[in-house]
Amino acid sequence: MPVPQHLRLVLALLALPGYAIAFTLPSLRPNPAWTYNQAIRVHVARIIVQLLSIRRPVTRLSLLPGDEKNRFQLMAPVPAEYYIGCCSSHVDDKTTIRPAPVGATWYPHAPARSQITRAATVILHFHGGGYVLGDGRDGDAGFAARCLLEACTGRGTTEACAGRGTTEACTGRGTTEACTGRGTTYVVCPQYRLSGTPEGRFPAALQDGITAYAHLVLERGIMPRSIVVSGDSAGGNLALALLRYLQHYSPAADLLLLPRLPPPGNLWLWSPWLNPLAALQDPLAHDRSPNAPTDYTTGHFGRWSAEEAFAPAVQKKEFNAYIHPLGNPFSTSTPVFICAGECEVFLHDNLAFARQMQGLGNNTVRTFVIPNAPHDVLLMGDKIGFEAAARLGAQAAVAQSMT
């Protein structure tokens, strides 16, 4: 009989002092290769995730600049013809999901249009958080943005290509000057609508992704080949859905419905959430994974996320591929990079999906497994003591883009 969530949380809190003592011995840590600091932080992060899964807070997003000041900008929806297929649909007979303005935070600063030259690279990064948490601002996605910027500008070393990770992405070329080998790099993190309210459920986040991408291409005049679409965890699910949408409706497709909005130059996925339907059907399957003891995610968090974001939409088969990428590979002209942690529950799904994508035609799909890392260190690395692991993954992504 499954242990109720509330009881699990109480037991975890009561056991915390015992774990604090036990983890002084490396052999008693979830992974002996972890430091004491990492073991404690991952354990506490799991307790926090359990608490959030019970409380299910609703995150309200603000379109005001806040502490980000002029780095925070609004992106207006584009004409209706850009939101077609699944993106013109509604959740149910009562709630219609329409495109809305999207707030976004730029890193290291918001460039003027004249500053984004043909040599520049713009990383459009979607934050994780199960579609129920996060906002792309400094306190949420700031660490991820810094990791990507440092890797692209060559301020870190390409340890990813020195045998420290399991990779198909590295070329042994050493440090890189920028993601494209030249020019300046910017990261922009949209605060797509969250699913705590009916108006934020699927396809709201995908509509916001289209708005953000179209803003870069149509309003700022950035060449699609100079854009890297990136996303961690649920943001990876969104990034993949956006690529599928652009690939299907791009000028290269037979329908020719989206002029001037072709797919991006690269897609980077960090511990992407590829199997939301499993969280709805059997949330405890997550906790039966051999990697569950070395991860901070829980099956109940996955169920909360999937119920809020997708529960009404999964009834429509035409949405399935956008919601549930695993088992639904597609052909794409965009090179795909997938990074996962060796110790995370999503590892096996990530590698399985990579193989599925590699099995289709001329797809270019590379993977990188960060040694001893739990879920989504790009988002959580500074919070759980895996900063170096996050930088390692970012360096591998840059190396992939140079091939």
Read off the pLDDT of residues 297-356 as tens digits, 9 standing for 90 and up: 999 999 999 999 998 777 788 889 999 999 999 999 999 999 999 999 999 999 999 999
Q: Is residue 335 part of a domain?
A: yes
User: In terms of pLDDT, which residue wins out, 153 or 206?
Assistant: 206
Cα distance between residue 345 and residue 130, in whole Å:
15
Q: Is residue 61 part of a domain?
A: no
What size, in residues, is the chain?
A: 403
> Cα 77 to chain center, whole Å?
22
Is 86:310 a contact under the CB 8 Å cutoff?
no
pLDDT at residue 176 greater than cutoff 50: no
CB atoms within 10 A of CB 101: 11
**Mean pLDDT taken over the chain:** 88
Q: What is the CATH number of the domain that holds 135?
A: 3.40.50.1820
Q: In what order do the strands lie in the sheet with 266-270?
A: 72-75, 102-107, 185-190, 121-126, 227-232, 266-270, 336-341, 365-370, 166-167
User: In terms of pLDDT, which residue wins out, 281 or 233?
Assistant: 233
User: What pLDDT does residue 232 have?
Assistant: 99
Q: Which of 71-75, 110-114, 207-211 shows the lowest mean pLDDT across its residues?
A: 110-114
pLDDT at residue 156 greater than cutoff 80: no
Residue type, 62: S
Q: Is residue 43 part of a domain?
A: no
Q: Is residue 327 part of a domain?
A: yes
User: What pLDDT does residue 250 have?
Assistant: 67
Q: How buried is residue 21: exposed, middle or buried, by Cβ count under 10 Å (0-12/13-18/19+)?
A: exposed
CB atoms within 10 A of CB 18: 9
Read off the pLDDT of residues 181-197 as tens digits, 9 standing for 90 and up: 556 799 999 999 999 98
User: What pLDDT does residue 178 have?
Assistant: 39
Number of domains the chain is built from:
1
Read off the pLDDT of residues 3-46 as tens digits, 9 standing for 90 and up: 666 677 777 777 788 889 999 999 999 999 999 999 999 999 99
Burial 56-95 (b: 16+ CB within 10 A, else e): eeeeebeeeeeebeebbeebebbeeebbbbbbbbebeeee
Q: Is residue 15 part of a domain?
A: no
Peptide bond into 108 cis (omega under 30): yes
Read off the pLDDT of residues 48-79 as tens digits, 9 standing for 90 and up: 999 999 999 999 999 999 999 999 999 999 98
User: What pLDDT does residue 252 have?
Assistant: 47
Q: Which of 77-91, 160-174, 186-200, 365-379 shows the lowest mean pLDDT across its residues?
A: 160-174
Q: Is residue 212 part of a domain?
A: yes
Burial 314-347 (b: 16+ CB within 10 A, else e): beeeebbbbbbbbeebbebbbbbbbbbbbbbbbb
Q: Which of 74-83, 100-109, 167-176, 320-329 shows the lowest mean pLDDT across its residues?
A: 167-176
Q: Is residue 259 part of a domain?
A: yes
Q: Which domain does 354 fall in, by range?
A: 66-401
Is 390:144 a contact under the CB 8 Å cutoff?
yes
Reading the block at residue 402, the tokens are 């140079």
pLDDT at residue 92 greater than cutoff 70: no
Q: Is residue 370 part of a domain?
A: yes
